[in-house]
Amino acid sequence: MKLPGPFAITRIVDMEGPFRAPDFLFPDATPEAFAETKVSRDARFVDVAGKQLIMSFHSLIVRTERNVILVDTCVGNHKERPTLPDWHQRTDGQYLKNLAAVGLTPEAITHVLCTHLHADHVGWNTKLLNGRWVPTFPNAKYVMHAKEFEHADHAQRTADANTRHRFWDDSVQPILDAKQALIVAGDFEIEPGVRLQPAPGHTPGNIVLVLDDGKQRAYLVGDTIHHPVQIERPNWSSRFCWDANQSRLTRAKFLGEVADTGAWIIPAHFAPPCAVRVTSQTNGFWFNTAS
């Protein structure tokens, strides 16, 4: 699925469909509070009958004249996630077939950008080959924000494996062992017009990828915004945020900066049409979709 914005942006799906009740992801989204939102009646983003959020777990491919950049690698196959039944020991993920369907091989990827280090953003970093986890993208540099890397490294050393969903050993450490990790500052520029922007809160080193070709601008925001309801209710942070208050502040500041600019906002979990433009209203923010 091609998306609007600068350069060429393509979505590669790992999982998609009704996911969880709103208050599973957003503690503030009680049934009563969620029913008061306009998004709650939008069948593109909410399974109204089943009362579940519709979520997409996808990567975004950015093709420039110089590079092929893959942003976030979703859930993955064969990963040990015992506390997450939907993700545990999957064998039917069609991610690599979906990548091939847009004319790309894993060898063609020059950079893999991890907007943050959560299990559903690093899963296809690696694949299981002859009983070993190896990088899925053998020619790529895996770009990680230094603050994020340091936080996740400390957490995996001090927390129970289940708390970390065991992702470090199967999806990060093999990248380090293969010497394909590129640990960078929060304002790192991959190439002119493709740069990182810090967006702390969901995690300490959470980042946004800013794309600007001089004609259009797009922000690939990862989990800074999980679902369209957070544009309508930017004070609703997810229960998985490292610092819920900082996440709220970052999201509100970001929305204020991009509103009415015409820039495209492309998060990691929006169901189709996936890309939106934010507009300001007297009581907050709203959005227009790509289709």
Is the pLDDT at 25 greater than 80, yes or no? yes
| Residue 74 clears pLDDT 70, i.e. is over it | yes
The identity of residue 144, as a single letter, is: M
pLDDT at 188: 97
Q: How confident is the model at residue 162 (pLDDT cuts 50, 70, 90)?
A: low
**Domains of the chain by residue range:** 2-289
pLDDT (mean) for 89-109: 96
Distance of CA 188 to the CA centre of its chain: 18
What DSSP string describes 81-124? -TT-TTTTT-----HHHHHHHTT--GGG--EEE-SS--HHHHGG
CB count in 10 Å sphere of residue 41: 10
Confidence class of residue 17 from pLDDT cuts 50, 70 and 90?
very high
Of 68-72, 104-108, 282-286, the least confident? 282-286
Q: Nearest 5°: phi and psi at 108?
A: -80, -15
Give residue-wise pLDDT tens across range 206-240: 999 999 999 999 999 999 999 999 999 999 999 99
Q: Retrieve residue 10's tokens.
A: 């393509």
Give the per-residue pLDDT at 155: 81
Residue 262, CB half-sphere, CA atoms under 13 Å: how many?
A: 5
SS3 label, residue 47: strand
Residues 6+ apart with CB under 8 A from 143: 111, 112, 113, 114, 182, 184, 188, 190, 196
Quote the pLDDT of residue 160: 61
Residue 51 reports pLDDT greater than 90: yes
Residue 164: the pLDDT is: 53
pLDDT at 166: 80
Read off the tokens for 282.
């007297």
The residue among 283 and 247 whose pLDDT is bigger is: 247
Phi-psi region of 214 (alpha: psi -120 to 50; beta: other; left: phi over 0): left
- Mean pLDDT to the nearest integer, 145-160: 85
The count of residues in the chain is: 291
**Banded pLDDT at 62 (limits 50, 70, 90):** very high
Architecture of domain 2-289: 4-Layer Sandwich (3.60)
Say how far apart CA 246 and CA 196 lie, in whole Å: 19
What are 170-207's pLDDT values in tens digits? 999 999 999 999 999 989 999 999 999 999 999 999 99
